[in-house]
Amino acid sequence: MVNKNPLLRQNLQVGLVQKLALTPALLQKIELLKLSHLELSDFVKNELMQNPVLEEDPSTRGSESAAATEISLEEAAGKSDATQDRSFEDIDYQAFFGEYLDSGQRGLGYEDYERPGFETFAVKPTSLYEHLSWQLGLETTTPVVDLAAQEIVGNLNSEGYLEMELDEIQASLQERIIREGLNLSVGSADVEEALRVVQRLDPPGIGARDLRECLMLQLQHWELSNTPEYRILRDHAELLEQGNLEAIAELEDCSIEDVRVVLARIRHLNPKPGLQYESDATIYIQPDVYIYKMGQDYVISLNEDGLPKLHLSSFYRRILKSGQMMKEEKKFLREKFRNAVELIRNLDHRKRTIYRVCEIIVQEQRDFLDKGIAHLKPMLLKDVADRLDLHTSTVSRAVTNKWVHCPQGIIELRNFFTLGFKRDGGEDISVYILKKTISDLIEKEEKRRPLSDSDITQKLNNEGIEIKRRTVAKYREEMEIPNSRERRVKT
C-alpha cells in the first residue's frame, strides 16, 4: 500500500541548528563554580587519586606547576623530544622497600604505624527514630499494629510531631503490605491503636499532632490529668494562645493571678520533645574569600588553604613522548592528560570568576564594609552579571555556598545581594534594613495594643519608605513574628 499523504512520508533534510552542547569539561566548570571551599578541597583530592597524571605540587619543586595549563595537548600526545631516561640507580629502594630489605634485627625503637583516629571510635548519638524503634521492640502488640507503629515513627518530624493524617498512614501501610506480600489487613482502628502505642513511648509528648496534644500527653505521662493545667489546655487552648487570661479566669471561676500561675507551670513543659535526640553536629564554615582593609583600600584574597596545588606529571610526559607504548596505553594517558589540563583551567576559571564578583561587591558595598549592616545597599545578581558580561546563573553559582571574611564578620556572599525599596528622596533601602526596621517597631510596641500590619505600613510610609501592607506581612512572617492578634497580651 502506497502512502499518498506527503506529511506522513519519511525523508531526509539538511539544516543548520544552533544549540549548546554540554561537554564534560563544561559540566565540570559549572560544578566547580558552585562548590564551597571544603567541597572543592575534597573534589581536588579525589581527582588526585583517580588521575595518575595529576600531582600535588608541594612548592613547585622542579616540575611543571599550575602554569602547565598552557601545555598543548599535542605535546602531551607524544611528539618526541630528547629527554633523559630515568636511571635505574635513581630509585630510592630504602624508601620504597625498606620494610622488606630489613636485616631482621630490630631495636626497641618506636614503630610509627598509621593508626585510626579517635573519631573512628566515637559513639554516634542515638537518633529519635532509633530510640523509638528500640522501644517498639519491647512492646507487645499485634503484627499489624506493630507495622502501623513503625510507619508512624518513620513519619515523625525532628520535633516529634506527626504531620501526616491517620488515613494517609493507613494507605501507606496498605501499599507496603501489598508490596511485601504480607498476609495482613490494616484498618483505621489498628492505626489509632498504633498511635496510642507511640504516644506512650519516651520522650513524653511524642507522636502529637499539634502543640495542645503534645502538652496534654506530657501531663498525662506525669499523671497530672486532673489538674487545672490539663483542664485549661483541654477546654481553653484557643484563649490561651490569644493570651486572653481574663476570659479564662471568668470561665474557670478563678482569679487572673491563678491563671498566671497555671500558665507558668505549662511553660515548663517541652513543646518540642523530639529535639533532644536531634543531632547537633557542628557545621564547619571555611571562608572562600578574605577581604582586608589596608589603609584606605580593601584587598581581596582567595583562600587556598587546604587546596592542593596541581601540576602535570613530568614522569608520564616523558613516557608519552618516548613512543614506547601500546596503542591502548597511549590513548589512556592522552585522555588523562586532557582531563588534567581541563581541570586546571576550570579551577583557574573558578578563582577568576569569584574574584571578579568580589571586586564588584567591594565597590558597591564599601559603606557596609566600613560602617555595618545599616549601610547595606540593594544589589541584584543581574546587575553584577551585566557589569561582568556573564550570565546571571554564573554569578548565582559563584556566590552559592561561598563565605567571605570581612571587617563585619563572616558573611555568606549571597547575603550581599538583596532587593531594595525606594525612599522619597530616591535613596534605596535593602530588605535586611527594612526587616530590621519592622522588627524594631514591633519590639517597641505597646503589648496591650500591638501594631497591625497596616499600622506598620503607615509608619514606614511616613518615614518615606514606599511599601505595601502585604509586603510587610510577608517579611513579618519570614521573621516568624506572630500577627497583632497573637501578640496581644491581655491582663
Residue type, 46: N
Which pLDDT does position 96 carry in this prediction? 41
**Confidence class for position 217, pLDDT limits 50, 70, 90:** very high
Query: C-alpha grid cell for residue 72?
Result: 598543548
Q: Read off the pTM.
A: 0.56
pLDDT surpasses 60 at 285: yes
Compare 352 and 102 and report the one with higher pLDDT: 352
Lowest mean per-residue pLDDT among 116-125, 295-304, 351-360: 116-125
The answer to whether 71 and 312 are in contact (CB under 8 A) is: yes
**Confidence class for position 107, pLDDT limits 50, 70, 90:** very low
Which pLDDT does position 225 carry in this prediction? 85
Which pLDDT does position 73 carry in this prediction? 39
The answer to whether 354 and 402 are in contact (CB under 8 A) is: yes
The answer to whether 205 and 277 are in contact (CB under 8 A) is: no
Q: What is the pLDDT of residues 442-478, one digit of tens each?
A: 888 887 788 888 888 888 888 777 788 888 888 888 8
Q: Which fold is adopted by the domain 420-487?
A: Arc Repressor Mutant, subunit A (1.10.10)
**365 SS3 class:** coil
d(CA 343, CA 161): 47
Query: How would you classify residue 16: left for phi > 0, otherwise alpha for psi between -120 and 50, otherwise beta?
Result: beta
Compare 284 and 107 and report the one with higher pLDDT: 284
Closest CA to 343 of 40, 63, 60, 36: 40
Query: C-alpha grid cell for residue 158?
Result: 525532628
Tell me what the mean pLDDT of segment 355-360 comes to.
Answer: 91
Chain position carrying cell 571551599: 37
Delimiting residues of CATH 1.10.10.60 domain(s) in the chain: 420-487
Q: What is the pLDDT of residues 47-101, one digit of tens each?
A: 888 888 888 876 543 334 333 333 343 444 444 343 334 433 444 434 443 443 4
Across 190-204, 278-292, 313-327, 469-483, the highest mean pLDDT is recorded for: 190-204
d(CA 206, CA 215): 10
Q: What is the pLDDT of residues 422-433, one digit of tens each?
A: 666 556 677 777
Which pLDDT does position 21 carry in this prediction? 65
Give how far Cα 65 sits from Cα of 113, 244, 279, 312, 324, Å: 32, 73, 43, 7, 26
Tell me what the mean pLDDT of segment 339-363 comes to.
Answer: 89
Q: How far apart are the first and last CA of the chain?
A: 92
The answer to whether 467 and 434 are in contact (CB under 8 A) is: yes
Provide, for the chain, the percentages of residues in helix, strand and coil under a 3-state DSSP scheme, each rounded to the nearest 5. Answer: 55, 10, 40
Closest CA to 161 of 214, 216, 217, 215: 214
Q: What is the pLDDT of residues 160-195, one digit of tens each?
A: 898 888 888 888 888 888 888 888 888 888 889 999
Lowest mean per-residue pLDDT among 51-60, 226-235, 378-387: 51-60
Which pLDDT does position 9 carry in this prediction? 65
pLDDT surpasses 70 at 316: yes
CA dihedral angle for residue 170, residue 173, residue 177, residue 178, rounded to 10 degrees = 70
Which pLDDT does position 83 carry in this prediction? 37
Phi first, then psi: give them for residue 142, nearest 5 degrees.
-75, 160
Give how far Cα 235 sits from Cα of 90, 166, 247, 251, Å: 88, 24, 12, 10
Chain position carrying cell 506522513: 8
| Alpha helix ranges (H) inside 267-388 | 314-322, 327-364, 366-371, 381-388
What is the number of residues in the chain?
A: 491
Q: What is the pLDDT of residues 397-420, one digit of tens each?
A: 888 888 899 888 888 888 888 776
Which pLDDT does position 19 carry in this prediction? 67
Average pLDDT, the chain: 78
Q: What is the pLDDT of residues 110-145, one digit of tens each?
A: 444 455 555 555 567 788 888 998 988 888 888 888
Give how far Cα 196 sits from Cα of 153, 160, 275, Å: 12, 14, 21
